[in-house]
Chains A and B, each alone.
Chain A
Amino acid sequence: MSAKFSYQRAVSIKDAAEATGRPGTRILAGGTDLLGCLRDGVFQTNRLVSINNIKELKGIRSRPGGGWRIGALTTLTEVAEHRQILESYPVLAQAAASVATPQLRNQGTLGGNLCQRPRCWYFRGQFQCRRKGGETCFAEAGQSLYHGIFGASQCYIVHPSDTAPALVALDAKVSIAGRRGTRLVPMSSFFVLPKDSLVKENVLEPGELITEILLDAPLTGTRSTYRKVRERASFDFALASAAVVLVMAEGKVRTARIVLGGVAPAPWRSTEAEKAVVGKPLDAAAVAAAAEAAVKGAVPMADNGYKVPLVRGILEETLTALSA
């Protein structure tokens, strides 16, 4: 059982923002990550503020002028099964469906999936690592089987979210409420790397919470997919994944957004891989060039060299699938 904390229910977004601005307070949504962290003592809290009774944070609604808005409390099951999400944004529906298990998807929210803490076994274990304010990264000399090959500096976590790469690939925006109003942040700027902060994974400040995710209407000719590889067929985080969104026109790739998961401290956009396919027909040569470009600059650790050919393979597979 976790250490004691007090509990209150926020009645409005403003109420939630004010309550969470106070030190030692954390927001409770689905709780699937938070309660595990509290139980394992990864961090402590004096007080939980539940936002689960704030109706305006729930559900999927169409936006005037096209596109969709997904409330932060929408469950992953709801995202994965929503007819319009399935039709217009398969990459997102597939990513949500690939998370964990039916129970965790019934409970876990889209906002929470974006804000979950890393799964590094040193961070989760009883190690005072840099991400917990310590002075050592234990993965550097320790076991690095599930750590990153991109974007590391002093800390080698990978971002565990499946929906995050999909939303970056879709160029979604995240609406953030704070004590002084709301701000809109592109999904591609929402996550931070260790070089920007060693102790947090996104731009949220105390007293801020995600209220909704905004999706633009897909352009004609858009194709998208999410591919996740894990050690077992379900109930696991990605060893590596790829979210790919292409806009095709006249047999050629007009625009491409290729974002990798499970390999970096944030969803890892590969503009090199995108450049390798844009303006070209999606033939075997372009696919191979993109797969090779995606792993350029990878820095494997002692135990995770397998992620390099894995990423290459995932991209060959997804791009080939989208070329049909």
Chain B
Amino acid sequence: MEKPTIDSQGHTGLSRRSFVNSVATGAAAEAAVLTLPGAAAQTGTKPPQDGEMVAVVLQINGRTHSMNVEPRWTLQYVLRDRLGLMATKDGCERGECGACTVLIDGISRYSCLTLAVEAAGCQITTVEGLMNGEQLGTVQQAFIEEDAFQCGYCTPGQVVSVEALLRKTPEPTFEQIREGVSGNLCRCGAYNHIFRAAQRAAELRKVGRG
């Protein structure tokens, strides 16, 4: 974790993300598990004790992450709090909101109800993995074009659900779109825009396919 520096006005030298990170993990993470895996080799993560940690290899957005996890860690927790992949949101932690939706072997699932140990060996895709370099994916582009969000908190989950829908059903009916995002709540109530974004994304992909 990057060290905070404080200037004369008391501003920290942390980026917003790493500041949020340090605040968010501070309470949850006990001293022994503060290291992010990328830095694990240098700083030394707490070694497995009494079989409590399990060594896993997670394939996330085409990258391989070898790490030790506690069996109780959900994939959502590992993505955000261990790997710093912050697109996947932490909403209800009980499969009731959809903010944490990811693709596992191309199929949408709630990462809050998936143990990281169970996701080992699968291809995991988050919103970060739908980007093509710095270029937005078709679904993300469509969400912008159709103004399909207000606060944006549910958006990564919505985007992943639409991605899952379009992979399975490239030209969905309106009813299929409604069903496709029925596992993602939007408390701002941007649903009609989200439905239009899904339709727009289907068009963009059709053009893309030629």
Contacts and interface: CB of A to CB of B under 8 A. Distances in A.
Given A39-B94, A102-B164, A235 B182 contact: yes
B118 interface: yes
Interface stretch (B10-18, B106-114, B147-155): B106-114
Interface string B99-136: 00100000111100111011000000000000000000
The 8 closest A-B CB pairs, nearest first, are: A101-B183, A7-B71, A234-B182, A103-B183, A36-B94, A107-B109, A106-B107, A103-B110
A235 B179 CA distance: 10
B156 interface: no
A106 B108 contact: yes
Interface in B144-186: 161, 164-165, 179-180, 182-185
B113 A107 contact: yes
Contacts of A31: 113-115, 118
A235 B183 CA distance: 6
9 contacts: A5-B72, A6-B51, A6-B71, A7-B54, A35-B115, A77-B107, A101-B184, A102-B179, A234-B182
A1 interface: yes
Contacts of B109: 103, 106-107
Interface string A27-39: 0100110011011
Given A104-B95, A106-B107, A4 B180 contact: no
A104 B52 contact: no
Interface in A2-36: 2-7, 28, 31-32, 35-36
Contacts of A145: none
Given A39-B93, A103-B108, A235-B182, A7 B114 contact: no
A35 B107 CA distance: 19
A7 B113 CA distance: 15
B110 A40 contact: no
Interface residues of B, number: 34
B101 A4 contact: no
A50 interface: yes
B118 A101 contact: no
Contacts of B180: 102
Interface in A198-238: 233-235
A39 B93 CA distance: 9
A107 B110 contact: yes
A130 to B, nearest CB: 24
A31 B158 CA distance: 22
B77 interface: yes
Interface in A27-67: 28, 31-32, 35-36, 38-40, 48, 50, 52
A100 interface: yes
Interface string B38-54: 00000000000001101
A7 B98 contact: no
Interface string B65-83: 0000011111001000000
Given A35-B113, A40-B94, A4 B72 contact: yes
B115 A3 contact: no
A210 B110 CA distance: 24
B183 A100 contact: yes
B172 to A, nearest CB: 12
Contacts of B118: 28, 31, 50, 52
Interface in A98-137: 100-104, 106-107
A80 B93 CA distance: 26
Nearest to B101: A103
